[in-house]
Amino acid sequence: MQTTMTSLLAADSPTVMTPITPHLHIEAVTKKFGSFTALDIISLTINEGEFVCFLGPSGCGKTTLLRTIAGLSQQTSGKLIQRGIDVSTLPPQARDFGIVFQSYALFPNLTVFNNVAYGLRNRRADRARINYRVTELLALVNLSGSEHKYPAALSGGQQQRVALARALATEPGLLLLDEPLSALDARVRGHLRSQIKALQARLGVTTIMVTHDQEEALTMADRIVVMNHGVIEQVGTPAEIYHQPASAFVASFIGTMNFLDVTVNSADQVTLAAKPLTCQPHHNMPLGETARLAVRPEAIALTQQQQGLSGEVIDIEFLGAFQRVTLRLTGADQTLLADVPSRDSTSLSLYVGQTLGIHIPAEAARLYPVGSDHL
């Protein structure tokens, strides 16, 4: 059954913590590969104990930024300051982080115990410390009793938990997660993301996760960094990113969004399908120009009354808790999606060919320049 983005934010979104101390300053970092700019003057501060997600489509620069933070890729220019120390030119082994890769990268010839103990042995920890720490971490990731198993004997979710325990073994100040759940099936992925978030909150370790999955970012992050073409489009809480997208790209990338052609009449009014429509005055579109109005399907109300904006129902899709209705606007060659809660669909007596009134709340409508909503 499909889960709406609104329900994710309402039910599963983590409580945003109050920033206390900056952990990592990324200062004007640029990364070039020949003539191609993968990161274009990236600046960002990540606070102690935060869970931050780098989110964006393939090729947006999010993995390059993570690798730069880890020292696995050297920036062309800019600085990285971790807890007041300039780590910009330090090799990976001299930086304070643990990392979990998409491919797990476990040593196949080592047992679970020895995989988790690997970093501690490299640091010449004593045997008692290693035994205590490995036992503690395997209990934290619910793998007690698996110490003597080899990676091949574990499921994908179990292997990822071993990789997580290994990354945490040396008590790093920063945990880096490079799309850690993308290779898992949906059920395991959903279970493991809640485990990772709960473990991160319990340990208080500053965490950066790269993902292209907006649901993962919305349910796990304290803040989301939306990236596109090597730049940061927006930084904000999941609710801010979803409800107040700073650009048309963010609006189109996160969740489902209607984009409708309108004519700008004034600071707070546009014309849609020959009907006046009020919108919030948070735009600087020129008067008389065509713009793109963005509104979420769940924000739209359908009524039997057809005063003002209306449309013909051309498709109805059952999605469990709601029905997604596609309407063709009366007087315009445009369509929009409206999500109708199942409890309301009966009173509307929905059927294809029906004409319904459409109400778009002013607070839910945002304007963007034409052509700016392409991914």
**Torsions phi, psi of 151, nearest 5?**
-50, -35
* pLDDT the model gives residue 223: 97
pLDDT digits (tens, 9 = 90+) for 204-242: 999 999 999 999 999 999 999 999 999 999 999 999 999
- Residue pointed to by tokens 């010449």: 124
Residues of the chain with pLDDT under 50: 1-2, 11-13, 15, 17, 19
* CATH 3.40.50.300 correct for 5-248: yes
Residue 372: the pLDDT is 67
- Cα–Cα distance, 364 to 352 (Å, whole number): 26
Under CATH, to which class is 256-369 assigned? Answer: mainly beta
| CA gap 163, 81 in Å, rounded | 26
Where in the chain is CATH 3.40.50.300?
Answer: 5-248
Smallest CA-to-CA distance from 142 within 105, 104, 192 is with 192
Domain with CATH 2.40.50.100 in the chain: 256-369
Looking at residue 375, its pLDDT comes to 52
What's residue 19's pLDDT?
A: 47
Distances in whole angstroms, Cα of residue 51 to Cα of each of 160, 198, 206: 18, 11, 6
Structure confidence by residue, pLDDT tens digits, 55-78: 999 999 999 999 999 999 999 999
pLDDT score recorded for residue 282: 66
Query: What pTM did the predictor assign?
Result: 0.88
